Chains A and B, each alone.
Chain A
Amino acid sequence: QVQLVQSGAEVKKPGASVKVSCKSSGYTFTDYYVHWVRQAPGQGLEWMGIISPSGGSTNYAQKFQGRVTMTRDASTSTAYMELSSLRSEDTAVYYCARGGTMIIVSPDYWGQGTLVTVSS
């Protein structure tokens, strides 16, 4: 069965960076896009960006341009999301989700989420 398992919770200080991992299984990793979506406490879902099946291209939401980097490693079926210059407003649960074989296909399977807390 399709599974996406994310790394554990992180606590970071303002100005630091965080890198969240998302290990996939149960499907051909190199055929599908991977989305990253975050959810601040008590708030809605916010799309951060997407990485192509090959890892050769990314689309980032304008809000995160310059601060986010999405990568993937086919050898371990793992996707990564790194967010830099963290501020308190970045405190949120970060989700990875499997996209489709095309960028406009909806995310279907989701990871369990990774809580990132930014606090001095």
Chain B
Amino acid sequence: QSVLTQPPSASGAPGQRVTISCSGRSTNIGRNTVNWYQQLPGTAPKLLIYTHNQRPSGVPDRFSGSKSGSSASLAISGLQSEDEADYYCATWDDSLNGWVFGGGTKLTVL
């Protein structure tokens, strides 16, 4: 059981907008920045969003992040087939004194 809770799956048609949620607690998301990773099949995770809503160089602005209280969301607009991947949220947990990941959400582009 992951400390951060994500829906196991999400889907959308090309061009649509999809959001993925990540629910935590006051000791993790509530106090710290949230980061999102994209993992394409058979590859290492790639940093997609850091510090709630910042994108590393090269990440399209179709990807955006937000945080409210102890929850966070990743939004993907203008869905493309290449977005089909697993997405993970992650943050530091003050109580555990370590990093925690969500269980991951498998995004299917219909």
Contact = CB atoms under 8 A, between A and B. Distances in A.
B49 to A, nearest CB: 9
B63 interface: no
Contacts of A62: 96, 98
A105 to B, nearest CB: 8
Interface residues of B, number: 26
A103 B104 contact: no
Interface stretch (A11-19, A24-32, A69-77, A107-115): A107-115
Interface residues of A, number: 24
Contacts of A113: 44
Given A46-B101, A47-B100, A108 B45 contact: no
A50 B35 CA distance: 17
B33 A106 contact: yes
Most buried by B among A60, A103, A107, A111: A107
Interface string B41-73: 000111100110000100000000000000000
Interface of A: 35, 37, 44-47, 49-50, 59-62, 95, 97, 103-104, 106-113
Interface of B: 2, 32-33, 35, 37, 39, 44-47, 50-51, 56, 86, 88, 90, 92, 96-104
Given A47-B101, A107-B99, 10 more contacts: A35-B99, A44-B104, A45-B37, A45-B45, A47-B100, A62-B96, A104-B92, A106-B33, A110-B44, A112-B44
List the 3 closest A-B pairs by CB distance, nearest first: A106-B35, A44-B104, A110-B44
